[in-house]
């Protein structure tokens, strides 16, 4: 018997200050379109029904520089509280018509639709179990995006200031399911101009 369709939301984290990059990562040119649009396209291709983007101080520039039609833009009033503050904001805006969410940093451009589909399919097959967090891995190393069951968002929302999402993962390790992929791109994020150039070169080589 096939699994029922999954209503998934993607929460794209784009509120960081991008200090090492020197410009908003969401607006980096990714072969003719902003990096954020590339990530949103991947999320759509993978079947994410709802799309959220969390922005910070560069929100005005990101809104002006990207096509965000059909996307809910959330303003993080104080991104200095860390990435978890954006994760909380995104999760707080989910409703219960959503089965799960994908926590997806905008600076992870080499995630492929197939990686996300594998997470969703694994979630669909395991949701009757105790597994609530699903993480892609490549050669045993954990990457992005992380999938979280809607019923398990509260531990993230309740995290005290100064903690990270890793604490929820570590505290609930028996409810974490790893999903292996052959795509090393799930491990790649771009923090510096050198990272960006290397990732873009890798993406072009595989396209």
Task: Give 24-80 pLDDT, tens digit per residue.
Answer: 999 999 999 999 999 999 999 999 999 999 999 999 999 999 999 999 999 999 888
Q: How many CB atoms lie within 10 A of CB 175?
A: 17
What three-state secondary structure class fits 146?
strand
Half-sphere exposure (Cβ direction) of 186: Cα atoms closer than 13 Å: 26
pTM: 0.95
**Is residue 32 left, alpha or beta, with left meaning phi > 0 and alpha meaning psi from -120 to 50?**
left
Contact 133, 102 (CB under 8 A): no
Highest CATH level, class, for 8-206: alpha beta
Mean pLDDT of the chain: 94
| Statement: residue 1 has pLDDT above 50 | no
Q: Where are the domains of the chain?
A: 8-206
> Is 164 exposed, middle or buried (CB count within 10 Å of its CB: 0-12, 13-18, 19+)?
middle
Bond before 185 cis per omega within 30 degrees: no
CA distance 33 to 15: 19
């Amino acid at each position: 018997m096939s699994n029922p369709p999954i209503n998934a939301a993607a929460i794209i984290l784009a509120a960081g200050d991008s200090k090492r990059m020197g410009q908003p990562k969401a607006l980096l040119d990714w072969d003719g379109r902003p990096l954020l649009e590339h990530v949103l396209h991947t999320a759509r291709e993978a079947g994410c029904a709802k799309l959220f983007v969390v922005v910070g101080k560069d929100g005005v520039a990101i809104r002006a520089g990207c096509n965000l039609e059909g996307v809910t833009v959330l303003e993080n009033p104080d991104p200095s509280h860390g990435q978890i503050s954006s994760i909380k904001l995104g999760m707080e805006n989910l409703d219960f018509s959503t089965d799960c969410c994908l926590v997806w940093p905008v600076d992870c451009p080499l995630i492929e639709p197939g990686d996300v589909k594998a997470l969703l399919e694994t979630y669909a097959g395991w949701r009757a179990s105790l597994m609530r967090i699903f993480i892609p891995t490549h050669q045993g190393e954990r990457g992005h995006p992380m999938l979280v069951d809607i019923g398990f968002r509260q531990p993230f929302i309740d995290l005290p200031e100064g903690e990270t999402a890793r604490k929820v993962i570590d505290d609930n390790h028996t409810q974490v399911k790893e999903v292996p992929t052959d795509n090393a791109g799930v491990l790649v994020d771009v923090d510096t101009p050198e990272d960006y150039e290397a990732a873009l070169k890798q993406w072009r080589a595989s396209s």
